[in-house]
Chain A
């Protein structure tokens, strides 16, 4: 009997010691995963909602929330409602970092979503960035910087967009196929964005007769864009690729129009955002007419596409008064993939679990992209291709010949090939299976 009591005492004191240790200055562990309750999962986004970069992009958080609201009205995912905390970073990396810290530590989000811009995303997910420090997944980022597909360097970051290098390779193939023998020029942003693209063009074997780099923000200096036109026209460039942001595209098209320069424009997807160009109200949107553009998702004008039709319906009901465009498509695609990932991660939702779920089955997630997704245990690349179309006088991008011809490739030395990918059918009512 005494023996038993001693044992009991011993084990009781051992338990107390363990409890005391757990409560001491070592960090306390939460019972469940941060941001997850039995009835909800909380996500966070930092993106430009005000400031110079906001037009167009400011719609993305609203679109994500609209899709989440739609899902929640249908019962949520695995019984949990999806919620979103949105903070405005004005496209400034330092602010994005502060926002991410607040989303993680104050708002206690489960994961970050859809961060926008390479600089901000790098600042958040880099070696000393808050997502890395606090081990918070950063899902479906809105930047084409090819580095984010590198799982070793960014272990909990997943890309959504195809990389800029992929886009450049697709453009290179298109130009070589369609405009062989013509003089080709390029205007590009002289940072990671343009650097990634130049690497893609080089890999694809496209050389330029004239290359015009511009430093980010210099497109806003009135005397700078006319010099681009001068260089391009002096070189007699007949086809000009624009690999920059929308404000630079606006400056390029506006100054070319004023100076009577009329090449065949090929606008990379970031700078070919018609919504942003239109909202700036600096040029008539009709100046985009005839320019070539690229997208990995169906055209927002394509109401026959089942995804676009479903997203339009959701937008009308849950995001009333906000015009449907490619930014809404991007936001809802982000939201759908997130819901799909939550579903795949199962009832016991953890940060590690959702990363593993995307790596395991992300490449098979249904979504609007017309190009296959590249998620795997070794790569965090998102969509892997583009289709090329032509802008109309309203800024709408329409598939040439009325058919999406999708080219797929990688960010490295892989060939650009016409995709045979058959997009999975949209799950019933646009809800993840």
Chain B
């Protein structure tokens, strides 16, 4: 009978909290007071406040709070307004509202309600600035943890989690303040060192503008509003050129905005699809995208289509995100760094693709065409970065890769924004760290005569890219169809986020991730793979 009552109560709490959170999210969150404003209704307390640097935050805990807080860090929000018509971000206005669980930015309360119903506390900030905001994000989170513990003193565990740029904040928090965090989840991790991330976007944009539109600025934006306007104009130019590349993929025609060198390549018989493939290859952009699986072809064009065209089509689909992100990150990085943060004076692009060019030979139209394109890049003016500004980037994106707390990595194999190589960086770094820990444990065992194997603290979960998902409408891939599994940026389902959270919470409590079979089963149930042998290419900035 008692059990029945408890079950009924919990059930009603679940449904009520769902409603409540849905309502309370709308409560004004502009409080500037040191102490947050709180409202308790239907067994759930929700507080809104601001940190000392005016970062807005929200925290929620149910009456049956179980002592564990999940601290969310949101991903990249541009620090400038975006012109209407730009894909994904068009019409965006700078927004610093607090975000305290995955899905909220899309209006999806599933994860929030599930966690609160289970008795967890949740919290998250909007951070004091947008754009590249790791410093501000870490500072806000440190204050937010303290504020949460003050309001809910029964807090015993803190699990930090984040998506995209939010993983830089989360990982940096665990590196700089391991005493505050018991476990972490890094979803679509952006966890490579700052210069490596800058190189990914910078190489793409530099090669793109060199071929397809030299009037795109790309680097060296003016300070202040003038620079913001230049970036906005670049976005428009970039997408115009990209749409023309898309239109010319089958015919081979280059955009009319192309550089003189690009037009000469076109006159020499190099199709635009090959140049677009090269741009993606040299940056390391995945050549499978949301609608291009790389294995499918329209009827009658089998083999030839996959070899010659699909890499370029995938590069174009993925390139939209990469180019836009490049403009945003360069403009913001330069405004914070005080100068150009990308430098490719010494980059040997031919060496970067030495292994890949044979695999993609047909897409690149053969050796002569590839050499011609590389020749154009070799002869084109390079970007000279500011030493001071580039040093600043390392401070703005300060990840070292050290794993201090049990950490779940959740990565889509063909993420075009935060490429899977960022996760591979952490995995490879941790292998070195773990080996050193084992060596130290062995050394210690000589004195103590007791050897304790170091606990594994890194759990990589992969959303591997599906094999076949391209749907054709005639000879053209239909991009209105659902995206393929393991593609796109941060497309994880609620169940995937919740599974990752469960694993991290378990590790926070027990100090380890438990049995491999159990982890694998948990992952498999939500479409993820636990495969410690799986590897993806390292990022170009880490090659060599």
| Chain A residues within CB distance 8 Å of chain B | 21, 23-28, 48, 50-53, 90-95, 98, 105, 118-119, 122-123, 126-128, 133-134, 145, 189-192, 194-195, 213-217, 220
Q: Pick the contact of B537 from A28, A122, A128, A217 — CB < 8 Å?
A: A128
Chain B residues near A95 (CB-CB < 8 A):
294-295, 306
Query: Which one of B3-11, B139-147, B225-233, B360-368 contacts A?
Result: B360-368
Chain A residues near B359 (CB-CB < 8 A):
93, 119, 122-123, 126
Output the nearest chain A residue to B459 by Cβ-Cβ distance. Answer: A25
Query: In the complex, are the beta carbons of B532 and A27 less than 8 A apart?
Result: yes
| Most chain A CB within a 10 A radius of its CB, from B367, B514, B532 | B367
Query: In the complex, are the beta carbons of B516 and A28 less than 8 A apart?
Result: yes
Query: In the complex, are the beta carbons of A90 and B515 less than 8 A apart?
Result: no
Query: In the complex, are the beta carbons of B368 and A213 less than 8 A apart?
Result: yes
Q: Pick the contact of B304 from A27, A50, A122, A220 — CB < 8 Å?
A: A220
In angstroms, Cα B368 to Cα A145, docked, is: 18
Chain A residues near B362 (CB-CB < 8 A):
119, 191, 215-217
If over half of B's interface residues share one DSSP class (helix, strand or loop), that class is named, otherwise mixed; here it is loop
In angstroms, Cα B517 to Cα A90, docked, is: 36
Query: In the complex, are the beta carbons of A94 and B294 less than 8 A apart?
Result: yes
Output the nearest chain A residue to B304 by Cβ-Cβ distance. Answer: A217
Chain A proximity mask over B502-533: 1 for CB below 8 Å, otherwise 0 = 00000000001111110100000000000111
In angstroms, Cα B537 to Cα A27, docked, is: 21
Output the nearest chain B residue to A21 by Cβ-Cβ distance. Answer: B453
Is B303's beta carbon under 8 Å from chain A? yes
Output the nearest chain B residue to A213 by Cβ-Cβ distance. Answer: B368
In angstroms, Cα B518 to Cα A28, docked, is: 12
Is B358's beta carbon under 8 Å from chain A? yes
Chain B residues near A93 (CB-CB < 8 A):
307, 359-360
Query: In the complex, are the beta carbons of B516 and A23 less than 8 A apart?
Result: yes
Which 9 residue pairs across A and B have the least CB separation, nearest first? A190-B366, A94-B294, A215-B366, A191-B361, A51-B303, A192-B358, A92-B306, A52-B303, A128-B537
Query: In the complex, are the beta carbons of B467 and A98 less than 8 A apart?
Result: yes
Query: In the complex, are the beta carbons of B307 and A217 less than 8 A apart?
Result: yes
Chain A residues near B307 (CB-CB < 8 A):
91-93, 216-217
Output the nearest chain A residue to B507 by Cβ-Cβ distance. Answer: A25
In angstroms, Cα B40 to Cα A348, docked, is: 68
Query: In the complex, are the beta carbons of A118 and B302 less than 8 A apart?
Result: no
In angstroms, Cα B357 to Cα A126, docked, is: 12
CB proximity of B299 to chain A, nearest CB, Å = 12
Chain A residues near B295 (CB-CB < 8 A):
92, 94-95, 98
Is B43's beta carbon under 8 Å from chain A? no
In angstroms, Cα B364 to Cα A192, docked, is: 12
Query: In the complex, are the beta carbons of A216 and B361 less than 8 A apart?
Result: yes
CB proximity of B421 to chain A, nearest CB, Å = 9
Is B177's beta carbon under 8 Å from chain A? no
Is B110's beta carbon under 8 Å from chain A? no
Query: In the complex, are the beta carbons of B355 and A127 less than 8 A apart?
Result: yes
Chain A residues near B287 (CB-CB < 8 A):
94
29 A-B residue pairings within 8 Å (CB atoms): A23-B516, A24-B516, A25-B514, A25-B532, A26-B532, A27-B533, A28-B517, A51-B302, A91-B307, A92-B294, A93-B307, A93-B360, A94-B295, A95-B295, A119-B360, A119-B362, A123-B359, A128-B537, A145-B358, A189-B366, A190-B366, A190-B367, A191-B362, A213-B366, A214-B366, A215-B362, A216-B366, A217-B307, A217-B308
In angstroms, Cα B358 to Cα A194, docked, is: 11
Chain B residues near A191 (CB-CB < 8 A):
358, 361-362, 366-367
In angstroms, Cα B297 to Cα A53, docked, is: 15
Chain A residues near B302 (CB-CB < 8 A):
50-52, 90
Q: A127-B537, A128-B535, A133-B533 are in contact. Are A195 and B512 (CB under 8 A)?
A: no
In angstroms, Cα B307 to Cα A94, docked, is: 9
Query: In the complex, are the beta carbons of A190 and B368 less than 8 A apart?
Result: yes
Is B441's beta carbon under 8 Å from chain A? no
In angstroms, Cα B369 to Cα A213, docked, is: 11
Query: In the complex, are the beta carbons of A92 and B358 less than 8 A apart?
Result: no
In angstroms, Cα B513 to Cα A119, docked, is: 40
CB proximity of B371 to chain A, nearest CB, Å = 10
CB proximity of A208 to chain B, nearest CB, Å = 15
Query: In the complex, are the beta carbons of B288 and A94 less than 8 A apart?
Result: yes
Query: In the complex, are the beta carbons of A90 and B367 less than 8 A apart?
Result: no
In angstroms, Cα B359 to Cα A91, docked, is: 11
Chain B residues near A127 (CB-CB < 8 A):
355, 537
Query: In the complex, are the beta carbons of B303 and A92 less than 8 A apart?
Result: yes
Is B534's beta carbon under 8 Å from chain A? yes
Chain A residues near B367 (CB-CB < 8 A):
190-192, 194-195, 213
In angstroms, Cα B296 to Cα A51, docked, is: 12
Is B243's beta carbon under 8 Å from chain A? no
A93-B360, A215-B369 provided; 18 other pairs, C-beta below 8 A?
Answer: A21-B453, A23-B516, A24-B514, A24-B516, A25-B519, A51-B302, A53-B303, A92-B306, A94-B310, A119-B359, A128-B535, A133-B533, A189-B366, A191-B362, A191-B366, A192-B361, A195-B367, A213-B368
Chain A proximity mask over B236-248: 1 for CB below 8 Å, otherwise 0 = 0000000000000
| Most chain B CB within a 10 A radius of its CB, from A94, A127, A189, A191 | A94
Is B456's beta carbon under 8 Å from chain A? yes
In angstroms, Cα B294 to Cα A190, docked, is: 22
Query: In the complex, are the beta carbons of B456 and A24 less than 8 A apart?
Result: yes
In angstroms, Cα B534 to Cα A362, docked, is: 31
Output the nearest chain A residue to B453 by Cβ-Cβ distance. Answer: A21
In angstroms, Cα B304 to Cα A25, docked, is: 43
Query: In the complex, are the beta carbons of A90 and B368 less than 8 A apart?
Result: no
Q: Pick the contact of B533 from A119, A128, A134 — CB < 8 Å?
A: A134
CB proximity of A138 to chain B, nearest CB, Å = 15
In angstroms, Cα B307 to Cα A118, docked, is: 13
Output the nearest chain A residue to B421 by Cβ-Cβ distance. Answer: A128
Output the nearest chain B residue to A94 by Cβ-Cβ distance. Answer: B294
CB proximity of B96 to chain A, nearest CB, Å = 38
In angstroms, Cα B466 to Cα A98, docked, is: 9
CB proximity of A52 to chain B, nearest CB, Å = 4
Query: In the complex, are the beta carbons of B459 and A118 less than 8 A apart?
Result: no
In angstroms, Cα B288 to Cα A239, docked, is: 44
CB proximity of A319 to chain B, nearest CB, Å = 25
In angstroms, Cα B405 to Cα A218, docked, is: 55
Chain B residues near A123 (CB-CB < 8 A):
359
CB proximity of B393 to chain A, nearest CB, Å = 27
| Most chain A CB within a 10 A radius of its CB, from B302, B514, B519, B534 | B302
Chain B residues near A26 (CB-CB < 8 A):
456, 516, 532
Query: In the complex, are the beta carbons of A133 and B534 less than 8 A apart?
Result: yes
Query: In the complex, are the beta carbons of B515 and A23 less than 8 A apart?
Result: yes
Is B19's beta carbon under 8 Å from chain A? no
Query: In the complex, are the beta carbons of B358 and A119 less than 8 A apart?
Result: yes
In angstroms, Cα B295 to Cα A122, docked, is: 17
In angstroms, Cα B308 to Cα A220, docked, is: 13
In angstroms, Cα B437 to Cα A409, docked, is: 50
In angstroms, Cα B467 to Cα A25, docked, is: 27
Chain B residues near A27 (CB-CB < 8 A):
516, 532-533
Is B84's beta carbon under 8 Å from chain A? no
In angstroms, Cα B359 to Cα A192, docked, is: 9
Is B536's beta carbon under 8 Å from chain A? yes
CB proximity of A287 to chain B, nearest CB, Å = 24
Chain A proximity mask over B308-322: 1 for CB below 8 Å, otherwise 0 = 101000000000000
Output the nearest chain B residue to A147 by Cβ-Cβ distance. Answer: B358
In angstroms, Cα B533 to Cα A214, docked, is: 40
Query: In the complex, are the beta carbons of B366 and A90 less than 8 A apart?
Result: no
In angstroms, Cα B194 to Cα A227, docked, is: 51
In angstroms, Cα B533 to Cα A93, docked, is: 21
Chain B residues near A217 (CB-CB < 8 A):
304, 307-308, 362
Chain A residues near B532 (CB-CB < 8 A):
25-27
CB proximity of B424 to chain A, nearest CB, Å = 9
